[in-house]
Structure 1
Amino acid sequence: MTHFGPVSRALAFAAVVVSTGIAVAPAYAGPAEVALLKSYIGEWRGRGTLVGAATESVVCRLSLTQGNQEKINYSGRCTLAGTNLSVAGTIAYVDASRRYEAAMTSNATFSGIAVGQKRGGGLVFNLRERTPDEEGKEMNISSQIALNDDSMSVSFEVVYVESGDSLTAQVPFTR
C-alpha cells in the first residue's frame, strides 16, 4: 500500500484543482454566456475532507474577478496536510469550440485541461487525465467542479495506477 506523504497528497489535490483549466483561446461569448460567467464573481470559501490512507481537512479560499474582455479571473489558496496550494487562472466561453474553458497555474507546477458545460442554471467542469506525481508514479485523475447559483463544489478522485491506492475529496464552497 502506498502511504501518501503531505507533498504527494498536495500534488494530487493540486492536479485536480489545476486541472480545471486549459489555455484559453480568444473568447467572443454572447450576452448569456458572459452574464453566467459574471454571476460567479465574488469571494468563495470551502471546507471539505480528503480521504486516502488518512482523512484530512481541506480549507480553501477562492476569489473570482472580472478579467479582460469577457473572461473571469480567479485566484485561490487551499491548505491540506500542512501544505499550501496556490492557484490562479481564467475562465471564458470560447465561441469557436462552443464551450466554456479555463486556464490555471499553481505552485505545484501542474497544468491540465477541463471543459465546462452549461447544466440547468449553472456550469459543470469535468476532467479525466493521467499524469505522474513528483516521484514519477502514474495517477488517473477524475474531477468535477460544479458552479450553481450561490454554491460551488469540487469533487475528485486520484488513483495511483501501480498500487490502486486512491485519494478522494469533496469540498463545498459558499460565498
Structure 2
Amino acid sequence: MTTFGPMTRAFALAAFVFSAGAAAPAMAAPADVALLKSYVGEWRGRGVVTGAEKETIVCRLSLSDGNQDKVNYSGRCTLAGTTLSIAGTLAYVDANKRFEAAMTSNATFSGVAVGQKRGSTLTFNLREREQDEEGKDLNITAQIKLSPEAIQVAFDVVYAESGDSLRAEVPFSK
C-alpha cells in the first residue's frame, strides 16, 4: 500500500479546488456575471480525507469581486500539519463559450477546470494525470459545485501503478 505523504496530500488538495492557467478576458452575459457574483463571500469547510488513514481537513475560501466581471478567490486548507494556499479567478470566457477557473498554489499543479451552469449552480470538473514528489503517476478527478447556499468539493487521487487512493469531501458554508 502506498503511503500518502504531506506533499502528496497538498498536491492532491491543489488539484481538487481549481485548475492552473490564466482565463482569457471575459465578456459574459449579465446573467453569467450575476451568477459568478452570487458566490462572493467568506466560506468555511471541514471534511474528511480517506486514504490509508482518515484525516480531518479544514478549509477557508474567500471569493471577491475582480476586474472585468471576474470573481477572485483565495483559500487555505490544513491537513495533517500541511497547509495549502490557493488563489485564482473564476470567469465566463466568451471566446471559449464556457466558465473557467484559473489557479495558482503552493503545490505544483496545472490543468484547466471547466464549469457548467445549471440554474443557480455552477459545477467545475477536472481530470488530470500528474506526478507526485516521488515521480509516481497520479490520476486526479475533482469536482466543485458552487451554489448560493453552499459549496461542495469532492476529489479522488489514485496511484496509477498500485491503485491506492485518496478521497476527500469538503462541504463549505458561509
User: In the TM superposition, what whole-angstrom CA distance separates every residue of 1:85-136 from its partner, at most 9, and x where no partner exists?
Assistant: 0000000001111110111000112122110010232100001111111111
Q: RMSD of the alignment, in Å?
A: 1.0
Structure 1 window deviating more from structure 2 (116-125 vs 83-92): it is 116-125
Cross-structure match for 1:173: 172
> Is residue 91–residue 100 contact of structure 1 (8 Å, CA) maintained in 2?
yes
Q: Which runs of 5+ in 2 are unaligned?
A: none
The sequence identity of aligned pairs, in percent, is: 68
Displacement of 1:138: 0.5
Question: How do residues 1-175 of structure 1 correspond to structure 2 at under 5 angstroms?
Answer: 1-19=1-19, 21-175=20-174
Letter in 2 for 1:53: A
User: In the TM superposition, what whole-angstrom CA distance separates every residue of 1:34-73 from its partner, at most 9, and x where no partner exists?
Assistant: 0000000000000000000000000000000111110000
**SS where residue 24 of structure 1 aligns?**
coil
> Is residue 25–residue 68 contact of structure 2 (8 Å, CA) maintained in 1?
no
Return the alpha-carbon distance in structure 2 between the equivalents of residues 168 and 104 of structure 1.
Answer: 21
**SS where residue 129 of structure 2 aligns?**
strand
Return the alpha-carbon distance in structure 2 between the equivalents of residues 117 and 129 of structure 1.
Answer: 18
Letter in 1 for 2:165: S
Letter in 1 for 2:55: E
**SS where residue 13 of structure 2 aligns?**
helix
> Is residue 102–residue 115 contact of structure 1 (8 Å, CA) maintained in 2?
yes
Q: Which runs of 5+ in 1 are unaligned?
A: none
Letter in 1 for 2:135: G
**SS where residue 111 of structure 1 aligns?**
coil
Return the alpha-carbon distance in structure 2 between the equivalents of residues 52 and 107 of structure 1.
Answer: 22
Structure 1 residue ranges (4+ consecutive) displaced by more than 4 angstroms after TM superposition? none
> Is residue 18–residue 111 contact of structure 1 (8 Å, CA) maintained in 2?
no
Q: How many residues align?
A: 174
Letter in 1 for 2:146: L
Displacement of 1:18: 4.0
Q: Using a 3 Å threshold, how does the CA distance of structure 1 residues 28 and 38 change in structure 2: closer, same or farther?
A: same
TM-score, length of structure 2 as denominator length:
0.96
> Is residue 22–residue 101 contact of structure 1 (8 Å, CA) maintained in 2?
no
